[in-house]
Structure 1
Amino acid sequence: MNFKSMFRAIRFVWERAKLWVICSIIFAIVSGLAPVALVWVMKELINTVAVIIQQESADFSGAFILLSIQFSIMLLSSIMDGLKSFMDDKVQIVLEHDLKALSSRKAMAAPYSFYDIPEFYNHLERVTGSPGAKFLTPLRNLLNIGEAAIKIVSFLVFLFTIHWILVVISVFGAIPIFIVQAIYGRKNFWLMFMQTPAAREINYIEYLMNNKQAAKETRLFGIADYLLGRWSKKYQKNASEKLALIKRQQYAEIGLDSLTALMYAGAALVIIWLIRTTTVKIGEFVAIGQAVQGTQEAIGQISNNLARLYEDSFYIRDYFEFLDFEESRIGHQSGTLPFPAALEKGIRFENVSYRYPNANNDTLDNISFTIKQGEKIAIVGENGSGKTTLVNLLFGLYQPTKGLIFYDGIDMTKISEKELHKNTTVIFQDFIRYSFRASENIAVGKELDQINEQKMKQAARLSGADKFIEEFEEGYDTQLGRFLTQGEELSGGQWQKMAIARALYRDSQVIVLDEPTASLDPISELEIYNQFQQITREKTVLYISHRMSAARFADRILVMENGRIKELGTHEELMQVKGSYYDMYNTQAQWYQTETGLRGSG
């Protein structure tokens, strides 16, 4: 058992639920004493009733008092159980919120490159679910153990006054229970640990089978049966492994139940022997049986709770290891300097290389170039040439394996991550389509309760999103998408204009458009680039694309191939070289704007 993690979990709960802990301790003490008190009251009540039956003139007041005490104890226990259950649920909700917030914050704050590590994904999968219950259970178990210990001590003292052999019989039966429970608690955790990758794949396939975005391909490509078959195979394999363990555990528990029954039979024989050799009243006879059974149940309760405590300690350790997860192979943007108030020298890549975790080769290899302030750079190349990796490095999402990146001569790693992201904006090809209101979609990068309406509408106008937003009945208050509610569904191009408006609203110094027009037709594509030329005159802009249309709007063009800079220059210079850019441009020439107009728009 990892005691360090357990103490950390207990401290975590204590800081958020001191009253619950104190009340639970009081409840545990009272609940621990209640059973032996009931046994004693039952013994006295039976003996009193026996006297009343034997003596017709006996006083009934004693029996009524004992009945009242018995009723009061039972009522108090019931009230405490109800109150305890409510408090447990309330605290679990609080813990659930705080623990999920911590793990989500870790996931969102972790370096973007962590998402290239399968172990990180697997770890994240294991700690999601119901962490509140997992954290509350150990304290519940400890309190249950304390409650059971009080019961045991009380019962054993009662039994010892009758005969010591009853104490031995009651204790002896619990040892195998604890051993078996501990063994299977450990096995259950490690089975879950080993099945996490397969469980992730099962969840992913379920997502594909039930998600609207994937629904078109699953139908048109006829892959529904394939997905269902693959899901079924993985699901049944995991299920069979779980059932095999459950089966073995059930066999073990049947054996334990047999042992418990045998111990109880032994206690019964001792009781019969005591009746034959000593003067035992009927009340004592009943009380001895209840005390022996109560002791065995309490010891079994301790064994079960210790086993669950042992099992839960693995989850808690795993949760804290996720919060503490660091990857030595990956750097992190940990600087504290402010971003330059206004870029003057621009951005410089100096011998920058990058290799993904567990990869054998560099994705970027010794990249060096400079971007002047206010310059428009088009970075073009085939898919897989390293364009998007370069963007991730520019924003600090990845840290160079070798080399440095400078903003106005300041090493990027020394700049605050928050400052860097505040002054740089990117529109990815796979941008998020937020199922929020139109205004929130545009202003999502800022405080949503302080939306600058004028600035937000200006961003929508510049991106062209205002044309369709203002046609909606509720305008900028219109709910977009139909994932959460019955909102307005947008086309791919309209969603892209929303993403562009979002970037403009941030008003950053550096803007990167990563495949910005992938969902647009040539006319809309031309319109977007023309607009960007107008609204980003003073800004530094990078167009990342494998389509050559962006190149005509750039001051310079950087051609990438296999992670290296193949060519660098203006459109005219590269056309004269007649190299890679020349070939790519001519291959796609029918899509570009020429002096006589737009050709090939069909």
Structure 2
Amino acid sequence: MTIAVILLTFFSGLAPAGVILFTERTITAVAGSLDSGELQSTAITSASLLIAITMAAFTLNIIDSYVQSLLQVKLSNKINLDIVRKATSLELQHFESSTTYDSLQRATSEAGSRPYQLFVDALRVLSGLTSLFSVSALLFAWNPWIAILLIVSCLPAFAAEIFYGRVTWKLEHDRAAKRRWASYLQFLTTNDRNVKEVKSFGLGRLLIQRVADIQRGFYDVDKSVEGRQAKVTALAGLLNVAVSGVAIIIAVRSALEIGNVGQLAGTIAAVTAVQSGASGVFVGLGQLFEHKLFLGELFSFLDTPHDVIKSGTRSIPRELKSGITFENVSFTYPGTDKAVLSNISFTAAPGEVIAFVGRNGAGKSTISKLINRLYDPTSGRIMLDGHPLAEYDISQLRSTVGVAFQDFVQYESSVQENVTYGAVNYLDDRVVSAVALNRAGADFVDELPSGLETRLGRWFEDSHQLSGGQWQRVAIARALAGDSQIILLDEPTAAVDSETEALLFRRLREVTQGAICFLISHRFSTVRAADKILVLENGNVVEMGDHRTLMNNGGHYASMFAIQAEGYQDVETNTRK
């Protein structure tokens, strides 16, 4: 398809020269016929060829337009898919950096149009060069100075395109963060997950004003730049008009000297064609320079190193034997200096439920990210069945880990897919989803309008919104959908009632036999049944043991448990009163 467009453009570029040549010959032949009083056959032949070339040029333009429209869609789709593929290949640490979001903003803002415009302007240059050389060849034969003068007169416009192309790119490059902020503010006002607070706190006017301020700032700068560019473009255009006028005067004088009216008509047409061709070439080159700058942002994003987390080659065993061991593991998030974890050591055997408790920011969720290899330890190592975790194939590792994050995703899709996204090999397997939902205590699915096929959320037609607790049970079902030997549950009962919580953990004990279950929670009613509880404080394990042992020790765990229990007792006492 690309080659077809190039060929069509090339032959279309030859058309102006043919039109001019046979216009000149037709007029010359007609003038000769008038002088002799007899109709010359060359006049009919030239006129016929002129009509044929005009019709051919029109047909080529129609075909070219059709093929280009198809190519635009294909190219835009490919670039957007490339961006999505790249984004999915990046690791978590990329998306916890504002630099990545700025790069993504710059890449996506022009992805839909710039690649195609680059191609179109390249074709414009090709067409312009073809027309320019073919018509200039005629013009040089008639009057070379006119051709040279016309080409040189287009250079100021070319210089202006280059200069303001760089200015435009620099403006957009520096605006990436502000554009993201404006998009985020608009996002806050346009979806159901934020509208409750926006309405309750009356934030609408404030958010609109902030978006308007950003847009006004962009407009003021753009207005100034566009104004300066318009002045320069106008001066360059006036120069072209003046040069064209001089060229036509020279052509008239030359025609009067040699008495060739046809050549005069051809020269006047050639002046317009050369000037248009030269302008198209130089403006196209300027646009190509600007596109190159913008597409540099796209390719910079696509070239982002994605193999930060190196995959090993060792296969995950079908059945874990010794389990997971943390050996003096420390971790510091990239771009920060403070260690989140310091010399953490523990062992988790198959069949055990390991709970992590501690204050916010103690490092509990970070441990789950390390187990899933969303990050690698800064120092120390994690062992799986006696081998470093980094030696295992990362895709196999993540497929054997079922995870429900604290900030789990609410997919605007069917219940079936919401569950089996956790086991994509069973995407359409209704038995797998039904079993997982039963394990998670999500019995409410049977009451939904279309059962497993009910679309969840509010963003699409015929969808059904769930409560927070129901969404959480769907997320837990997703974690339990696969053949997971390691299960990570981060605050799994934060949004469920106590009855559901008790049911869930009874079932967890049953369904996770032989698997390692890691549990992160602030609710001690959740963690007290764990086989081993690790108490984290400032990134250190300060206590370890089961509930009974830790209570007898009277340390951090016992203190936090007593505080939470006291709260429940106060509520119960007040209720009785």
Note whether the superposition's TM-score is higher than 0.5.
Answer: yes
Determine which of 240, 243, 248 is the counterpart of 1:268: 248
Tell me the CA shift for residue 337 of structure 1: 1.1
Distance 1:497 1:54, change over 3 A: same
Distance 1:528 1:592, change over 3 A: farther
Tell me the CA shift for residue 79 of structure 1: 1.8
Determine which of 42, 57, 72 is the counterpart of 1:92: 72
Aligned to 1:106: 86
The alignment partner of 2:167 has SS state of: helix
Distance 1:473 1:331, change over 3 A: closer
Tell me the CA shift for residue 268 of structure 1: 2.2
RMSD, aligned α-carbons: 2.3
Greater CA deviation, 483-492 or 303-312? 483-492
Partner Cα separation in structure 2 for residue 601 and residue 336 of structure 1: 59
- The 8 Å contact of residues 349 and 369 in structure 1, kept in 2 or not, is answered as yes
- The 8 Å contact of residues 92 and 132 in structure 1, kept in 2 or not, is answered as no
Greater CA deviation, 384-393 or 527-536? 527-536
Greater CA deviation, 191-200 or 381-390? 381-390
- The 8 Å contact of residues 105 and 176 in structure 2, kept in 1 or not, is answered as yes
Spell out the pairing of 1:184-199 with structure 2 (5 A cutoff): 184-199=164-179
- The 8 Å contact of residues 441 and 500 in structure 2, kept in 1 or not, is answered as no
Aligned to 1:316: 295
Partner Cα separation in structure 1 for residue 507 and residue 57 of structure 2: 73
Distance 1:139 1:297, change over 3 A: same
Distance 1:601 1:321, change over 3 A: farther
Q: Which amino acid in 2 is paired with 1:552?
A: R
- Segments of 5+ residues of structure 2 without an aligned counterpart are none
Q: Which amino acid in 2 is paired with 1:516?
A: P
Determine which of 320, 326, 351 is the counterpart of 1:349: 326
Determine which of 351, 362, 382 is the counterpart of 1:385: 362
Distance 1:141 1:480, change over 3 A: same
Aligned to 2:96: 116
Partner Cα separation in structure 2 for residue 120 and residue 334 of structure 1: 22
The alignment partner of 1:222 has SS state of: coil
Spell out the pairing of 1:74-223 with structure 2 (5 A cutoff): 74-129=54-109, 131=111, 133-223=113-203
Aligned to 1:236: 216
- Segments of 5+ residues of structure 1 without an aligned counterpart are 1-19
Structure 1 residue 477 corresponds to structure 2 residue 458: no
Tell me the CA shift for residue 96 of structure 1: 2.2
Q: Which amino acid in 2 is paired with 1:31?
A: S
Aligned to 2:281: 302
Determine which of 472, 488, 497 is the counterpart of 1:496: 472
Partner Cα separation in structure 1 for residue 574 and residue 447 of structure 2: 30
- The 8 Å contact of residues 116 and 356 in structure 1, kept in 2 or not, is answered as no
Partner Cα separation in structure 2 for residue 239 and residue 401 of structure 1: 46
Aligned to 1:26: 7
Structure 1 residue 574 corresponds to structure 2 residue 550: yes
Partner Cα separation in structure 2 for residue 272 and residue 230 of structure 1: 62
The alignment partner of 2:536 has SS state of: strand
Partner Cα separation in structure 1 for residue 304 and residue 458 of structure 2: 36
Aligned to 2:515: 539
Determine which of 435, 443, 446 is the counterpart of 1:458: 435
- The 8 Å contact of residues 149 and 302 in structure 1, kept in 2 or not, is answered as yes
Aligned to 1:414: 391
Tell me the CA shift for residue 63 of structure 1: 4.5
Partner Cα separation in structure 2 for residue 479 and residue 299 of structure 1: 57
Determine which of 9, 12, 16 is the counterpart of 1:35: 16
- The 8 Å contact of residues 590 and 600 in structure 1, kept in 2 or not, is answered as no
Distance 1:224 1:143, change over 3 A: closer
- The 8 Å contact of residues 521 and 601 in structure 1, kept in 2 or not, is answered as no
- The 8 Å contact of residues 129 and 281 in structure 2, kept in 1 or not, is answered as yes
Partner Cα separation in structure 2 for residue 286 and residue 599 of structure 1: 105
Distance 1:539 1:600, change over 3 A: farther
Q: Which amino acid in 2 is paired with 1:348?
A: T
Distance 1:148 1:449, change over 3 A: farther
- The 8 Å contact of residues 511 and 540 in structure 1, kept in 2 or not, is answered as yes
Tell me the CA shift for residue 30 of structure 1: 1.2
Distance 1:486 1:422, change over 3 A: same
Distance 1:592 1:502, change over 3 A: farther
- The 8 Å contact of residues 106 and 173 in structure 2, kept in 1 or not, is answered as yes
Aligned to 2:234: 254
Greater CA deviation, 397-406 or 312-321? 312-321
Distance 1:272 1:75, change over 3 A: closer
Tell me the CA shift for residue 424 of structure 1: 0.6
Aligned to 2:534: 558
Q: Which amino acid in 1 is paired with 2:294?
A: Y
The alignment partner of 1:364 has SS state of: strand
Tell me the CA shift for residue 562 of structure 1: 1.7
The alignment partner of 2:325 has SS state of: strand
Spell out the pairing of 1:328-343 with structure 2 (5 A cutoff): 331-343=308-320
- Per the normalisation by structure 1, the TM-score is 0.90
- Per the normalisation by structure 2, the TM-score is 0.94
The alignment partner of 2:375 has SS state of: coil
Distance 1:538 1:137, change over 3 A: same
- The 8 Å contact of residues 460 and 498 in structure 1, kept in 2 or not, is answered as yes
1:423-472 per-residue CA deviation (whole Å, 9 max, x = no partner) reads 1111012211122222122112334776332232121222222x322223
1:13-61 per-residue CA deviation (whole Å, 9 max, x = no partner) reads xxxxxxx232123212211211011112222233344455566x53386
Partner Cα separation in structure 1 for residue 447 and residue 527 of structure 2: 34
Q: Which amino acid in 2 is paired with 1:251?
A: K
Aligned to 1:7: none
Partner Cα separation in structure 1 for residue 176 and residue 141 of structure 2: 53
Partner Cα separation in structure 2 for residue 232 and residue 570 of structure 1: 57
Spell out the pairing of 1:359-370 with structure 2 (5 A cutoff): 359-370=336-347
- The 8 Å contact of residues 131 and 274 in structure 2, kept in 1 or not, is answered as yes
Q: Which amino acid in 1 is paired with 2:327?
A: E
Number of paired residues? 574
- The 8 Å contact of residues 166 and 267 in structure 1, kept in 2 or not, is answered as yes
- The 8 Å contact of residues 420 and 432 in structure 2, kept in 1 or not, is answered as no
- The 8 Å contact of residues 356 and 535 in structure 2, kept in 1 or not, is answered as yes
Tell me the CA shift for residue 357 of structure 1: 2.2
Distance 1:575 1:286, change over 3 A: same
Tell me the CA shift for residue 72 of structure 1: 2.2
Tell me the CA shift for residue 511 of structure 1: 0.4
